[in-house]
Structure 1
Amino acid sequence: MYTRLSRSIIFIVMLSGLFTNAVANGLPDFTDLVEKNNKAVVNISTTQKAQQHSVLPEGFEFPENQPYSDLLKHFFGGQGQRPRQRESRSLGSGFIISNDGFLLTNHHVVKNADEIFVRLQDRRELKAELIGSDERTDVALLKVDAKDLPVVKLGSSKSLKVGEWVFAIGSPFGFDSSVTAGIVSAKGRSLPKENYVPFIQTDVAINPGNSGGPLFNLEGEVVGINSQIYSRSGGFMGLSFAIPIDVALNVSNQLKESGHVIRGWLGVRIQDVTRELAESFEMDKPQGALVAQIVPDSPAEKAGIQVGDVIISFNGESISRSSSLPPLVGAANIKNKARVTVIRNKKTKVLTVTLENLPEDEQASATDVTESKGNSILGMSIKNLTKQMRDELGIKQYGVLVASVDNGNASNAGIRAGDIIMQLDGQSVKNTQHMKKLASKIKEGKFISVLINRQGNPIFLALKK
């Protein structure tokens, strides 16, 4: 009995060991990859000289021949003394892309730096020159005066697959050559105020100091630049974001050639197509970028793109979400004409657009709404706009004011008091009587699209009658 039990236990332990080894053998081994690439990853530090002024009131004089007079003057600065300078430092990572000294890092790592220093793995510290930096993509190109430097192998982020293993090398909190690994969690992520970068999301541990460092695939190729993390604590929480290397190289090549970046501009404001909006447009499924506003005299207006068009393709690339469009437009060559496929009035239409360079300040308008009398319809009270109100809002001829909203369909759709209704079911709204006429033709239980102007921002909402 005892012998049989002992043999059974031994057998189970052996199976467990085999299973554990099998699982372990199935995991990637990063040792050779790290050994081949870590020499091309650098630590970047910067200094910024800041003026330190006295905190004492203007005209204040220290009493002479009093105890601690010299000590007070030392800390607060005596009369006529020049403002002192202090140095602030920042720390990040980067990687060498050419053996003659060109490096890539993040814009925010070297922003406002007076001096930039690059520390190599052999402990050499070199002063770097900033060739160019692009805030929109958070990419910066540096150059050090050295030859025969180790370089990384550059890959392509387009071939990355969700679930694929990746690893990072950097200097989190100043700990040089730190290696962390994980998988690709998602691709094409759009982050707030970062419309022109389709970020790679990973669960690779990234912390302060990793910024600007490379993200590698299992071929040892750089596929991204580690740029941001999502965190409520300031530290790593499993959500890291990297700039695709294809985007970074496009930017760095332009910085190297001209010192600035030319980025395509279409001149539209867009939003996602929700399930309800898709139903109102009689689309099979939610897809594309819904055009909510067109900038006057923009490439979009010149090409004939209209408010209410749903852009489903740009230069042959499908647009599944509105966030997919800006990176494609931004990366497009403005010297070539672009093909834009839209759905308009339930029909597909292909337009040709000549893109322009993205302006420094994209056009926007502000609104300040004042109420006047009106009528009740679709669960809301609407009022005509006076000439003064139109002048203030920058609206020439269309639109009605939402004075109040009841608990009902309009409220459920997200319409608020102060909104300006510009379109109803694809038709421009001239006045309250016209809107009543349009609303009377809508079938009960059907979703319709409503274009509103809210504080200068155009938004499409889906309203169910």
Structure 2
Amino acid sequence: MTVPPAASGSHRTRRMPSRPLVRRARTRAEHAFTAAVCALALGGAMSAWSQTRACLERAPSVSQGADFVAAAARQASAVVSITVAGSGNDGAGAGGMPPSARWAQGMDRGVASGFIFHRDGYILTSAHVVNGAQSIAVATADQRRFDAEVVGIDRRTDVALLRIAASDLPVVTVGRSSELCPGAWVAAMGAPFGFERSVTAGVVSANPRYMPGGTGVPLIQTDVALNPGNSGGPLFDEQGKVVGMNSMIYSATGGYFGISFSLPIDTAMRVADELRATGRVTRSHIGARTQPLTAELAPAFGLDAALGALIVRVDADSPAEAAGLRSGDVVLAVGASAAAMPYAEIQEHVNSAGQGARLTLRVWRRRAPLTVEVGVAQSAPDLAPKPVARAETREVRFGLELGERKGVLGVSLLDPGLYVEAASGSAQRAGLRYGDALLAVNDVNVASLAQFDAAIQSIPESDTVALLIVRGATRGYVAIPPRASRRAALRP
């Protein structure tokens, strides 16, 4: 998924209610809070050193250089390819960033990845892949193909939970993304451009990484090569444990550019558990978009430590607007504590607050502290999309409209034979499109409509049909599922 640089947008703010003139002498509480803020430099340094020391202590136990052969072999059986027909690619990716328009192989057909984490057919993939799709097909490593239902989606984290009618399936081994350190070797598996179970490797660039102006969702930044079709696939460490779900790339072209992002598996599994239990994810918010206050930004706001959440946008008619929060405010802490909090901790306090609750925010504005009371609202959950009900029909020629080309002696300059003039239904879902040349049905060559009709009529409706197609310089077979099963799937 492509992530274009975040664009600045307009936003509405409202001034704080009028306050008495500032007295020359601050209250003791204000002095105490200011002292705590001034002491944040030491706290920030200690926090960063604590994380660095934890990674240093873990490093000797990690092998020098990663061998992903065994790890990839263990995970491959649980990695699936996902084919989506319909609109799909709707919504935002993890962190609130827009998805790529290039993940699809054509206007109405997309290819993505996923992985089985429960033996009873539960699969994790990206929400932007399946949201709005009319049909979803899952192909397992042993070449079985299933229709999938969407149990639930969460667009904020870009997680979708699918289920297929199968049991006793191979599953991935789930690790802990919180233990990943920058420099650690990781590998991705997926179907870039439709090439199933492709493995690419690299190192962790940063963990966690937050998108400026995003939704506060933590991400794992790596230099692993991800391309359209990798969305939803697993990111695993050199022990073969899944530590993330591949979500998006940062690229101006839609192709690999050296910066990739995966959703931490800790977050993905929490969302999956809630989707399995209720079919939806509910969370609280105050209506303020934020980014972490970095060491580079902190001096601009009169702070010494890279702690707190910097507000970049306040939503109209939100609790944050009602409380008077505005862009440029730095939320240092939530609750009664005067000590500043890391960005992730502030996010967790807000997300876990119940609807109707009121939070006390310690805010830094124009190099001075203040306390703001803000209400908490609840985000509307994403509901699992329902496929469009289609009337039961009997397809003619799998939905293909074919034309006969007579060759150089006729009106066409193309080679003689059958060409696709339009594709719908099963043919469209299989990826056929205008201009494809059709050479054979299974192992029977066809060059006319009469030959094509005779060939498909000789095949039982319970059998898969293989069509040999030429597209440009590429030649290959495309599978059309059994006609009997298609009609059953069309029934509401």
What is the match of residue 128 of structure 1? Answer: 148
The answer to whether residue 58 in structure 2 is matched with residue 28 in structure 1 is no
Q: Is the 8 A contact 1:184 1:200 kept in 2?
A: yes
Matched pairs, number: 299
Q: Is the 8 A contact 1:338 1:355 kept in 2?
A: yes
The whole-number CA distance in structure 1 between the counterparts of 2:298 and 2:325 is 19
The whole-number CA distance in structure 1 between the counterparts of 2:87 and 2:297 is 53
What is the match of residue 134 of structure 2? Answer: 114
**TM-score of the superposition, structure 2-length normalised?**
0.52
Does the residue aligned with 2:277 lie in a helix, a strand or coil?
Answer: helix
Deviation at 1:194, TM superposition (A): 3.9
Deviation at 1:221, TM superposition (A): 1.9
Does the residue aligned with 1:158 lie in a helix, a strand or coil?
Answer: helix
Does the residue aligned with 1:35 lie in a helix, a strand or coil?
Answer: helix
Does the residue aligned with 1:253 lie in a helix, a strand or coil?
Answer: helix
What is the match of residue 83 of structure 2? Answer: 45
Map 1:27-176; keep pairs closer than 5 Å. 27-48=65-86, 88-176=108-196
The whole-number CA distance in structure 2 between the counterparts of 1:87 and 1:268 is 35
1:127 corresponds to which letter in structure 2? Answer: D
Q: Is the 8 A contact 1:200 1:224 kept in 2?
A: yes
Deviation at 1:271, TM superposition (A): 6.5
The whole-number CA distance in structure 1 between the counterparts of 2:254 and 2:87 is 26
Does the residue aligned with 2:218 lie in a helix, a strand or coil?
Answer: strand
| Alignment gaps of 5+ in structure 1 | 1-24, 51-85, 361-465
**More strand as a share of residues:** 1
Q: 1:286 and 1:216, CA in 2 relative to 1: closer, same or farther beyond 3 A?
A: closer
Deviations 1:306-340 (A, max 9, x none): 8875312347896566xx58853664253687664
Q: Is the 8 A contact 1:40 1:151 kept in 2?
A: yes
Does the residue aligned with 2:133 lie in a helix, a strand or coil?
Answer: coil
Which of 321, 332, 337 aligns to 1:312? It is 332
Q: 1:37 and 1:294, CA in 2 relative to 1: closer, same or farther beyond 3 A?
A: closer
What is the match of residue 231 of structure 1? Answer: 251
Q: Is the 8 A contact 2:216 2:291 kept in 1?
A: no
Does the residue aligned with 2:332 lie in a helix, a strand or coil?
Answer: strand
Deviations 1:270-317 (A, max 9, x none): 567688985676533464334577668855578897887531234789
Deviation at 1:39, TM superposition (A): 0.5
The whole-number CA distance in structure 1 between the counterparts of 2:268 and 2:243 is 10
The answer to whether residue 393 in structure 2 is matched with residue 355 in structure 1 is no
The whole-number CA distance in structure 1 between the counterparts of 2:111 and 2:376 is 38
The whole-number CA distance in structure 2 between the counterparts of 1:218 and 1:115 is 35
Moved more, 121-130 or 326-335: 326-335
Deviations 1:39-76 (A, max 9, x none): 111011112289xxxxxxxxxxxxxxxxxxxxxxxxxx
What is the match of residue 427 of structure 2? Answer: none
The whole-number CA distance in structure 2 between the counterparts of 1:291 and 1:232 is 26
Map 1:2-21; keep pairs closer than 5 Å. none
Map 1:322-341; keep pairs closer than 5 Å. 327-328=347-348, 331-334=351-354, 340-341=361-362
Deviation at 1:101, TM superposition (A): 0.7
**TM-score of the superposition, structure 1-length normalised?**
0.55
What is the match of residue 429 of structure 2? Answer: none
Q: Is the 8 A contact 1:44 1:91 kept in 2?
A: yes
| Alignment gaps of 5+ in structure 2 | 1-62, 89-105, 382-492
Structure of greater Rg: 1
Does the residue aligned with 1:169 lie in a helix, a strand or coil?
Answer: strand
Does the residue aligned with 1:154 lie in a helix, a strand or coil?
Answer: coil
Does the residue aligned with 2:210 lie in a helix, a strand or coil?
Answer: strand
